[in-house]
Chains A and B, each alone.
Chain A
Amino acid sequence: MNAAAMLSTQVKYVNKAFWRNPASAFFTFAFPLMFLVIFTSLLGNHSLRVSANGPVVSTSTYYVAAMAAYAVISATYNNIAIGLAIQRDSGVLKRTKGTPIPSGVYILGRLIHAFFVSLILVVITAAYGRLFYHASLPTGRPLVEFLAMLLVGTMAFCALGFAITTVIPNADAAPAVVNASILPLLFLSGIFIPLASNAPSWLLWIARIFPVRHFALGMDAGFVGTAFSWNDVWVVAAWGLGAFAVSFRFFTWEPKN
């Protein structure tokens, strides 16, 4: 079997296992959509200014973009890191290493699957926002920019998910390590609570260092109509490449003892 056929078969089985696992299907899929409904319903009637001199939009539109970002991050970073830590500790990865499937094909299979799950989540989020809250949907050039950010973001957060497994000591610790690393950044980056114009500057600076804020700004540009900046894409890509380098060097296929 050639590599391409092997890859598509791999994606097929990853996908089957994903939907049958109640934990991954719920936390990756239902959870962000649930947050979307809660946030927009609860806070939808206000309006806010997205950035210092950005447009004023309704909170619900803001949350459509923010929850799209959150959904992508949990489908990639959280799902890959926790899933791989479990697979590593239970010996699935070691078993795979003893077969002739190239490591790259195995890893790429998970990446592609995470991208498709992200894409579906973004489409559902956008459709929900469009139907109930008149969120704007990107077309033309903004759509291309949006998809570029989505693709780069998915790959980068997958790579970060691979990288974080290198410091996860065992499968039991995986959810704790993943949440401890991502939740503060989600808050700092205005995913759950919009960053008001009076937000302390040290906080904005920290947010500016990490990739979550930049990815969220890219999602905003698509839905909210703020200016798109390729710099955000480059920052996310740089984090992705760094994470890839770390994974390449430190990722282990055998359980950590």
Chain B
Amino acid sequence: MESDTTASAIRVRGLVKSYGKSPALRGVDLDIPRGEIFALLGPNGAGKTTFVEILEGFRHRDAGEVSVLGLDPNHQPMALKTRIGIVLQSSGMDRYLNVAETVAMYSSYYPHPRPVDEILEQVGLTEKRKERVLRLSGGQQRRLDVAIALAGNPELLFLDEPTTGFDPSARREVWEVIKNLRRLGTTVVLTTHFMDEAQYLADRLAVIARGRIVAEGDPATLAGRDRMQATIRFTLPEGTALPDALSALTVVQGRSCEIVSGRVTKDLHDLTDWALSCDVSLEDLRVDRPSLEDVYLELTSDESGEP
């Protein structure tokens, strides 16, 4: 079982998949190292679910190479299923079994299951172990989804939109459970269309749009976000004018001013230096970097990249 010692949990090359005549994936290349929490970010219909369902073995690819834990999901589905856990976007469970019975039932499908109590502890459902599934809240049911996916002690866990449709506190519950998986060394692949989710959970992420990966990297530096120009924003007091040197850089609208800057340290210094010497108070002075959301919207907008 441990014969595969490659560093990659997932390796994909030139993956293509169409539904009828409409292409869903148009040549995807991706490597996901072991032990990483990896987020696949993209708008609805971008191909996220198709992509993970090919990795999980639910769908067959049209072309390309796919290796998941060193196995081909099309040709070695059974061997793969014993080593992965899957949390689908939405999937029911038997409402009349209780929490512990549900996990125990799914455990019985695997050759090397984890002890049920250990799993319940990990997802925080120990107190609910005797509760019928139909009496669980949305967040608790989602944690039970994760518990079921952990039943076989997987090396790799897929989470398809784990918090879509949840209220903020339920999202937090699920996030904490996912974050804790890192300690087990489980590789996690999650799809989401929430920036904050990707930013909070993921070590690395890829943005998928129109069937292609359009950017890949660290959430903090994705698509050169850290090197992009920052914007200095402030409000000038009534009747105050900027000196010429600064005025040339500034876009003024009424009293609110914006300096789009490639040299934030210098421009900010010049600005505050002038303000201090003239005893001008710059209300709500701040420096904004493009947020992950800005970058994402830019990457996934229909105008960018190819049609």
B-contacting residues of A (Cβ < 8 Å)? 1, 5-6, 9-10, 13, 16-17, 20-21, 87, 90-92, 94-95, 97-101, 254
B111 touches A1 (CB 8 A): yes
Known: A1-B111, A13-B105, A17-B97. A100 touches B82 (CB 8 A): yes
A21 to B58, CA, bound (A): 30
Interface size on B, residues (CB 8 A): 26
Across the interface, which residues of B come within 8 angstroms of A87, CB to CB? Answer: 92
Output the nearest chain B residue to A8 by Cβ-Cβ distance: B108
Known: A1-B111, A6-B109, A9-B105. A91 touches B90 (CB 8 A): yes
Q: Is B206 an interface residue (CB 8 A)?
A: no
B108 touches A100 (CB 8 A): no
Q: Is B47 an interface residue (CB 8 A)?
A: no
A98 to B68, CA, bound (A): 14
B93 touches A100 (CB 8 A): no
A87 to B82, CA, bound (A): 22
Known: A9-B108, A16-B97. A100 touches B90 (CB 8 A): no
Across the interface, which residues of A come within 8 angstroms of B81, CB to CB? Answer: 98-100
Main secondary structure, interface of A, reads helix
A97 to B101, CA, bound (A): 19
A16 touches B88 (CB 8 A): no
A91 touches B96 (CB 8 A): no
Across the interface, which residues of B come within 8 angstroms of A95, CB to CB? Answer: 86, 88, 91-93, 148
Q: Is B110 an interface residue (CB 8 A)?
A: yes
Across the interface, which residues of A come within 8 angstroms of B92, CB to CB? Answer: 87, 90-92, 95
A21 touches B96 (CB 8 A): yes
Residue from A97, A98, A100 having most chain B Cβ neighbours under 10 A: A98
A-contacting residues of B (Cβ < 8 Å)? 56-58, 78, 81-82, 86, 88, 90-97, 101, 105-106, 108-111, 132, 148, 152
A90 touches B108 (CB 8 A): no
Q: How far is the CB of A165 from chain B (nearest CB, A)?
A: 16
A203 to B106, CA, bound (A): 48
Across the interface, which residues of A come within 8 angstroms of B94, CB to CB? Answer: 13, 17, 92
A211 to B67, CA, bound (A): 49
Residue from B88, B106, B108 having most chain A Cβ neighbours under 10 A: B108
A100 touches B110 (CB 8 A): yes
B88 touches A94 (CB 8 A): yes
A98 to B86, CA, bound (A): 7
A21 to B97, CA, bound (A): 9
Across the interface, which residues of A come within 8 angstroms of B56, CB to CB? Answer: 98
A99 touches B110 (CB 8 A): yes
Across the interface, which residues of A come within 8 angstroms of B96, CB to CB? Answer: 16-17, 20-21
A17 to B92, CA, bound (A): 14
B109 touches A100 (CB 8 A): yes
Across the interface, which residues of A come within 8 angstroms of B95, CB to CB? Answer: 21
A96 to B110, CA, bound (A): 12
Output the nearest chain B residue to A12 by Cβ-Cβ distance: B105
Across the interface, which residues of B come within 8 angstroms of A13, CB to CB? Answer: 94, 97, 101, 105
A252 to B58, CA, bound (A): 12
Output the nearest chain B residue to A25 by Cβ-Cβ distance: B96
B58 touches A6 (CB 8 A): no
A13 to B82, CA, bound (A): 21
User: A99 touches which one: B90, B109, B132 (CB < 8 A)?
Assistant: B109
A247 to B95, CA, bound (A): 26
Known: A87-B92, A91-B92. A99 touches B106 (CB 8 A): yes
Across the interface, which residues of B come within 8 angstroms of A16, CB to CB? Answer: 96-97, 101
Known: A13-B101, A95-B148. A101 touches B109 (CB 8 A): yes
Residue from B81, B97, B105, B106 having most chain A Cβ neighbours under 10 A: B105
Across the interface, which residues of A come within 8 angstroms of B86, CB to CB? Answer: 95, 98-99
Output the nearest chain B residue to A1 by Cβ-Cβ distance: B108
Across the interface, which residues of B come within 8 angstroms of A5, CB to CB? Answer: 108
Q: How far is the CB of B177 from chain A (nearest CB, A)?
A: 18
A100 to B86, CA, bound (A): 11
Output the nearest chain B residue to A98 by Cβ-Cβ distance: B86
A9 to B106, CA, bound (A): 10
A17 to B133, CA, bound (A): 11
Across the interface, which residues of A come within 8 angstroms of B58, CB to CB? Answer: 94, 97-98, 254
User: B88 touches which one: A6, A98, A101 (CB < 8 A)?
Assistant: A98
Listed by A's residue number, 9 A-B pairs whose Cβ atoms lie within 8 Å are A1-B111, A13-B101, A13-B105, A16-B96, A87-B92, A92-B93, A95-B91, A95-B148, A100-B81
The 7 closest A-B pairs by CB, nearest first: A90-B92, A91-B91, A20-B96, A101-B109, A98-B86, A100-B81, A9-B108
Q: How far is the CB of B158 from chain A (nearest CB, A)?
A: 9
Output the nearest chain B residue to A2 by Cβ-Cβ distance: B111
Q: How far is the CB of A86 from chain B (nearest CB, A)?
A: 8
A91 touches B105 (CB 8 A): no
A20 to B96, CA, bound (A): 6
Q: How far is the CB of A201 from chain B (nearest CB, A)?
A: 47
A94 touches B109 (CB 8 A): no
A101 to B78, CA, bound (A): 9
Across the interface, which residues of B come within 8 angstroms of A90, CB to CB? Answer: 91-92
